[in-house]
Amino acid sequence: MPLIAKVATSVSKTAAALSRAAGRGDGSVIGGWIGLKIDPDLLAHLASGRAVALVSGTNGKTTTTRLTAAAVGVLGRVATNSFGANMPTGHTSALAREGHTPFAVLEVDEHYLAQVIDATRPKVVALLNLSRDQLDRAKEVAMMAQLWKTTLAGHPEIKVVANADDPMVVWAASASPQTTWFSAGQRWLDDSFVCPESGHPIERAQGEWWCTGCPLRRPRPQWVVEDEGVIDPRGDWHLVKLQLPGKVNIGNAATALAVAGEFGVRPIEALPRLARVASIAGRYAQVDKDGRNIRLLLAKNPASWLEAFDMADQAPTLLSINARDPDGLDTSWLYDVDFSPLRDRPVLITGDRAYDLAVRLQVNQVPFRHVQSFDEALAAVPPGRLEVIANYTAFQDIRAELDRVN
């Protein structure tokens, strides 16, 4: 590495450590920011010499990145941004912190994929899904897909691992000559009813989808989720045992196995490592308090709410909604989510925007009770499991409250 990059790396690590010591989070954003101020090419310098995989998409990035890092770890040490700091500052900080590792697996915000590909020259890019995110911030889904498509067309050397079930992802990945397809299902269909190539309607039946006006259709996947396991490209089925809940996470595991497969890792080697992943930056964490087993699920946009309903047990469920800056200020997305799967369980609501949620649940005919605090929620449910589904800052609030009592 050039001298300037060495200096920048050292300063970046010190800044991150100081920030952590001051109790201001994990320090990865400030550390990366300072490093890049000193050496604008620091990310490229730190990535060089490593075999890199990037993981991008609207939902499931953090979990899939963590599982992929575990799987690639079969081969040697892996640097990863496991705290969800998924922009170049976070990548820079993660690579600086880990020192030299032969491998890196990085979660990338979908808007930054082109920039991070240019800096890190990845061997593999995994594309999970594209759906609407925070309404006042995110790009339109079709614009995002176009951006990815253009980027991948300029990098034919990259191996792309992409979700065959998401028409937007398939269209974007079709620009690459080296694509491995996985099928992890697509629960959220509302953002892909229209073909991004020709504008015709997309039809779906028996797990397949196709455009009614052009050749775009679901490619045949090499990695497929089936029952509680995954079929590999040789046709062998592997049982996937995870501590993480839901079919969604078996899909995330299938993606991780497919990416690790591009590095030469076999499922049989990776699976025991996936089984050890318990909680990711507090997500899926289980806390016992007053005889209640509380499980935390993060849901930040319509597609991830549907996924959270899939992961949650049939148990009392607390929903918490805020609309602060990191959440997006507009809560009209509540009407995009079908809350009816919650009708058959006790539902509690809280958060800054509990009343928005109350109206939505009323319209959706889901009975609920409003509580003012997490303690009140705990007191309102019997001993046993309490599922908590919250959006971003609401999730952080509840985590902080639980950390205080533990």
Do β-strands 292-298 and 286-289 pair in parallel, antiparallel, or remain unpaired? Answer: antiparallel
Provide DSSP, 146-157.
Answer: HHHHHHHHT-TT
**Cβ of residue 183: shortest distance to Zn ion, in angstroms?**
20
Q: Where are the alpha helices (DSSP H) in 180-228?
A: none
**Tokens read off for 116:** 């991070």
User: 325-333 contacts: CB < 8 A, separation 24 or more?
Assistant: 326/392, 326/393, 327/134, 327/300, 327/391, 327/392, 327/393, 327/394, 328/133, 328/134, 328/135, 328/136, 328/137, 329/136, 330/134, 330/135, 330/136, 331/356, 332/135, 333/132, 333/135, 333/301, 333/302
**Cβ of residue 125: shortest distance to Zn ion, in angstroms?**
24
Unique residue bearing structure tokens 């400030």: 30
Q: Does 362 bind Zn ion (CB under 5 A)?
A: no
Which one among 41, 98, 109, 197 touches Zn ion, defined by CB under 5 A? 197
SS3 percent helix, strand, coil of the chain, rounded to 5, is 40, 20, 40
**Cβ of residue 175: shortest distance to Zn ion, in angstroms?**
15
Task: Kindly tell me the burial class for residue 141, based on how many C-beta atoms sit within 10 Å of its own C-beta (0-12, 13-18, 19 or more).
Answer: buried
Which one among 216, 303, 371, 381 touches Zn ion, defined by CB under 5 A? 216
State the amino acid at position 172 in one-letter form. Answer: A
Unique residue bearing structure tokens 């990535």: 47
In terms of CB distance, is 195 or 357 closer to Zn ion? Answer: 195
In terms of CB distance, is 195 or 389 closer to Zn ion? Answer: 195
Cα separation, 242 vs 278, whole angstroms: 8
Q: Does 201 bind Zn ion (CB under 5 A)?
A: no
Stretch that binds Zn ion, among 84-92, 193-201, 236-244, 391-399 (CB under 5 A): 193-201
In terms of CB distance, is 109 or 197 closer to Zn ion? Answer: 197
Out of 118, 325, 330, 338, which one is annotated catalytic? 330
Which one among 52, 195, 294, 303 touches Zn ion, defined by CB under 5 A? 195
**Tokens read off for 92:** 């820079």
- Known catalytic membership, residue 330: yes
Q: Does 211 bind Zn ion (CB under 5 A)?
A: yes
Q: With contacts defined by CB under 5 A, how many residues of the chain interact with Zn ion?
A: 8
In terms of CB distance, is 195 or 225 closer to Zn ion? Answer: 195
Which one among 198, 286, 314, 362 touches Zn ion, defined by CB under 5 A? 198
In terms of CB distance, is 143 or 214 closer to Zn ion? Answer: 214
**Cβ of residue 200: shortest distance to Zn ion, in angstroms?**
5
Which one among 18, 214, 329, 405 touches Zn ion, defined by CB under 5 A? 214
- Contact residues for Zn ion (CB under 5 A)? 195, 197-198, 200, 211, 213-214, 216
Which residues form the catalytic set? Answer: 330
